[in-house]
Structure 1
């Protein structure tokens, strides 16, 4: 079996996986909702909040992790999004919500290593309590929430996937996040405000 097909088979299996440890977050934001601020630890040890970044027009909030094959496939694309849109006022805010007791590879120390190895130009935050992921309603890694500043508020403008081809960036036909941002930056309504997030299920802490 050739490697690309084997890798795609693994991705398909991961998409179908579901156990009691992988429960779905309930509720969460819908497009048009106002997102509240948070304060989480970055891989450099500093605490980061959205409110502190007053020059930003909005944020590309991305729930992701170290270990999911889908997240790894999208790392370079997240870097490209940040490099293209951070200068225009929309930086990437990457958040790892996975429970380390279920996924040790998503520990804070491993996050620091991953960020260094990949030379992330964006912040990579640790949602240790998983409260931010629950508040947003994130279920997958990666899972995108595009926020736009409206006065003092941050409005949710788009929720879902980055694009329509997780496996091969060369075959992407629809760039959902880029299209949404390009419209927002020119004062136009986002043509597609939600898509299905494709990725690994967030590893939720077992509180039972």
Structure 2
């Protein structure tokens, strides 16, 4: 019977530790395909909620319009990357064409990204955001209904209420702002397809970002 030397054992432990950290990082960046009511090609789950100004928001009231749902958390570095100007530009581009863009805040009070309605409104101003509405979801009911797992997590709904896209905003799962220049933006592509009556080429992807800090 032979035994590894102490130095060799330490090296093996370091390698295993590094692999463990890498695996943990990957699991934090990606989300598994959620098991929820939201399924591409099927009617998007109906919802009723309240926006940051205290007004009701419901999918039924938006029938006939293309709707984007964007899960956000201003303290998440993945979200911060997109809010250096890219997300705001995308919001302005499509709301300017009549698209309804709803930014959903599902972080529980006291958790990362958890804000009050007043704070949510101020946040929109401070970061130059341009959604149609900011939806407050402190209990996580809307997020869980759609199976949203990360911030950002994106959904595109057609005027007849069909879910046309769900998943990542783009194909660059990083916090590096430089990646925005070469990223393939799946949401922009889906909106172009929906508004021109064409099929969405990529209708479902695996979202990436910070895990949503749902209430327990």
TM-score under structure 1 length normalisation: 0.78
Q: 2:80 aligns with which of 68, 72, 78?
A: 72
What is the CA-CA distance between 1:143 and the residue it aligns to? Answer: 0.2
What is the CA-CA distance between 1:200 and the residue it aligns to? Answer: 0.3
Cα RMSD, aligned residues only: 2.7
Q: 1:99 aligns with which of 89, 98, 108?
A: 108
Q: 2:119 aligns with which of 110, 132, 141?
A: 110
What is the CA-CA distance between 1:14 and the residue it aligns to? Answer: 6.2
Which position in structure 1 is the counterpart of 2:202? 192
Q: 2:193 aligns with which of 173, 183, 189?
A: 183
The answer to whether the 8 Å contact 2:28/2:209 transfers is no
Distance 1:121 1:33 in 2: 28
Distance 2:140 2:148 in 1: 10
Which position in structure 1 is the counterpart of 2:143? 133
Ranges in structure 2 where 5+ consecutive residues have no aligned partner: 1-22
What is the CA-CA distance between 1:138 and the residue it aligns to? Answer: 0.6
Which position in structure 1 is the counterpart of 2:181? 171
Instruction: Report which of the two structures shows the higher radius of gyration computed on alpha carbons.
Output: 2
What is the CA-CA distance between 1:35 and the residue it aligns to? Answer: 1.5
Superposition pairs for residues 27-38 of structure 1, below 5 Å?
27-38=36-47
Ranges in structure 1 where 5+ consecutive residues have no aligned partner: 1-11, 19-23
SS of the residue corresponding to residue 201 of structure 2 reads: coil
Verify: 1:155 aligned to 2:165, yes or no: no
Give a deviation string over 1:4-34, Cα, whole Å, max 9, x none: xxxxxxxx9765449xxxxx96423111121
TM-score under structure 2 length normalisation: 0.75
What is the CA-CA distance between 1:79 and the residue it aligns to? Answer: 1.8
The answer to whether the 8 Å contact 1:15/1:199 transfers is no
Task: Count residues with an aligned counterpart.
Answer: 187
What is the CA-CA distance between 1:72 and the residue it aligns to? Answer: 1.8
Which position in structure 2 is the counterpart of 1:61? 69
Distance 2:82 2:183 in 1: 15
Verify: 1:146 aligned to 2:153, yes or no: no
